A and B are shown apart, each in its own frame.
Chain A
Amino acid sequence: MIQYAAIILFVFGLYGLFTNKNVIKMIISLNVMEVGLNIFIISIGFNSDPNSIAPIISSTNQLSSVFVDPLPQALVLTAIVIGVGTTALGLAIAKNIYKTYNTFELDEMEESA
């Protein structure tokens, strides 16, 4: 089931965040975790009835059809954009780290005063 896959992705991302020492790899693990979370959110709204369609009313879809839940899709839009913002900020801090310490590995950075 896709919800299991989403939770496993989330756990992978969390594991990667704990065990990696390279700044760029930590940012990528954070992204994997957020992808898992977003898939889980979308899967909440799914309706496996074969007649259910996307919630768009047009000349071919009438209001009386069975729709999937539109609210989780709206929440995921916001969550994706917030993830993008956090990643951009993380990469900018990574560039600053490289300028200060000349390496991306957290182990090799000596504690400069």
Chain B
Amino acid sequence: MSAILLIAVPLLAAFLSIMMKKLSSYVLLAVGIFNVVLLLILPDGFVRIGEFNQPLGINLLLDTYSRIALLLLNSLILVITYLNLKSYKTYGTILLLALAGLNGLVLTNDLFNFFVFLEISGIAAYLITTSNKKPRSTFHYLMLGAVGSSLFLFGVIILYAMYGTLNMVGMIRLIQANGNYKEVILPFTLMFIGLGVEAKLLPFNSWVKGVLGNSNTLSGPMIASVYAGSMSFVLGRLITNLFDFQGSLLTVVTIILAVGILAGDLMAFASTKTREILLFSSVAQASIIALLFVNGIIIWAVYLIIANALSKTVMFLVINKATKDIGSDESQDLRGLFIKNILVGVTFTLATLSVMGLPLLVGFKIKLAFLTGLADANHIWLIAIILIASVIEGIYFVRLLVKLWYKGDKEINVSYNFSFKTVFVIIALALLVFGTYSTPLSYLDNSIDTVMEEVNNG
């Protein structure tokens, strides 16, 4: 049993499933369950591919950080597939390939392999967004994604020319030994821009509005929680270990991220379409997560990624199902949605309150912890920006919730079937339970990312 099975089995299933198209979604469910079970029994450590030693071949790294990311991804894909089994049957093969690509992205320890899996996941994402039936937004996403990956590859090649290896642990060792920081500013900038396109950081995220603004119950949660979560995890791993932001580059990156937080929340405030409000809030949260990684607050950034992925799944599923039944997503047209769906309304409200960071929910504990961490490092103006952004966030979310709970002019009839409601209840309970009883959260700390340990010990 080795970690390579997490990638090889979905690939094999995908290659076989084009010959039996009708069963592809069920194969996906079986593979998802297999992956989750496998993750619980695998040991930590490096996995070699082929029998070659570290600089010669490729290897994968499974440690606590990757394990948390993989558990989150695999279970979310399993849940989303199960909920969309009837309506989006033909997407089984594409989702299997997305599963394999995202697993490989989180596990790999080699920079060129990272690029290849980034492309696999990217192309799977473009195909998932074709379910929105908006070819213009998909085309825009494809162009931006291709430019981003090319810039990333450019950076990786410059690093290879300078240091002669493509292995992440080996390269970090060589960069630290070399010590001349100014030489690596160019490749790090290019790689950061390349990943920033996929991770929705500010100047490069013009694709988000088109893709998520027209989403449905399959593409909405997939792009907004699964892809966003995994891209944040890998961006965090690269930022903490490889990119060592110092000096003027650190200032530039911090300003870009801070502007991203404010701009995201302001654009959400200015919009009246529900899906746009949710997606701009995702953009702002992605910038906050990147900011926390840059400042070294790893464990709370990881918890924030998990909390966001879970909350946004609930929120996007509720709104997308309602939009499909009613036909429009203007918040005017969705007034009174929760009058007949009280359970769904309660879970949606709990998820929203967790994103805003109100007490009794896990969002509050996370926000408190990372603001304390930032205060310890004396970043007062960053705390001020996050607090201002939270106030704006509070205003637009409360405005949305008021519209959804109180009756409008017309009667709205949207029904959620039993499996949807079960998922909502489980996630909302998790957010509530960890909000009140949060001692398990402090069992893990910043040492879950063991790449630097390997660099120093190897």
* Partner-B contacts on A (CB < 8 A): 10, 14, 17, 23, 26, 30, 33-34, 37, 40-41, 44, 71-72, 75, 78-79, 82, 85-86, 89-90, 93-94, 96-97, 100-101, 106, 109
Report the nearest B residue to A31, measured CB to CB.
B146
Known contacts A44-B157, A44-B161, A89-B126; 11 further A-B pairs (Cβ under 8 A)? A10-B154, A23-B139, A34-B146, A34-B150, A40-B154, A78-B116, A85-B123, A86-B146, A93-B135, A96-B135, A97-B139
How far, in angstroms, from A44 to B166 measured CA to CA in the complex? 14
Contacts of A40 in B (CB 8 A): 154, 157
Contacts of B130 in A (CB 8 A): 93
Among A33, A75, A93, A101, point to the contact of B150 (Cβ < 8 A): A33
How far, in angstroms, from A78 to B136 measured CA to CA in the complex? 28
How far, in angstroms, from A105 to B153 measured CA to CA in the complex? 30
Among B116, B119, B150, point to the contact of A37 (Cβ < 8 A): B150
Q: Are B157 and A72 in contact (CB under 8 A)?
A: yes
Contacts of A97 in B (CB 8 A): 135-136, 139
Contacts of B135 in A (CB 8 A): 93, 96-97, 100
Q: Are B153 and A89 in contact (CB under 8 A)?
A: no
Known contacts A17-B147, A30-B146, A79-B153: does B161 contact A93 (CB below 8 Å)?
no
21 pairs across A/B with beta carbons < 8 Å? A10-B150, A14-B147, A23-B139, A30-B143, A30-B146, A34-B146, A34-B150, A37-B154, A40-B157, A41-B157, A44-B160, A44-B161, A71-B160, A75-B112, A82-B149, A85-B119, A86-B142, A89-B142, A90-B139, A93-B135, A93-B138
Query: Which 7 pairs between the two chains have the least Cβ-Cβ distance?
Result: A96-B135, A97-B135, A44-B161, A93-B139, A82-B119, A86-B146, A41-B157
The listed residue with most A CB atoms (<10 A of its CB), out of B138, B146, B153, is: B146
* Partner-A contacts on B (CB < 8 A): 112, 116, 119, 123, 126-127, 130, 135-136, 138-139, 142-143, 146-147, 149-150, 153-154, 157, 160-161, 166
How far, in angstroms, from A88 to B372 measured CA to CA in the complex? 50
Report the nearest A residue to B154, measured CB to CB.
A37
Contacts of A33 in B (CB 8 A): 147, 150
Contacts of B123 in A (CB 8 A): 85-86, 89
Contacts of B150 in A (CB 8 A): 10, 33-34, 37
Contacts of A93 in B (CB 8 A): 130, 135, 138-139, 142
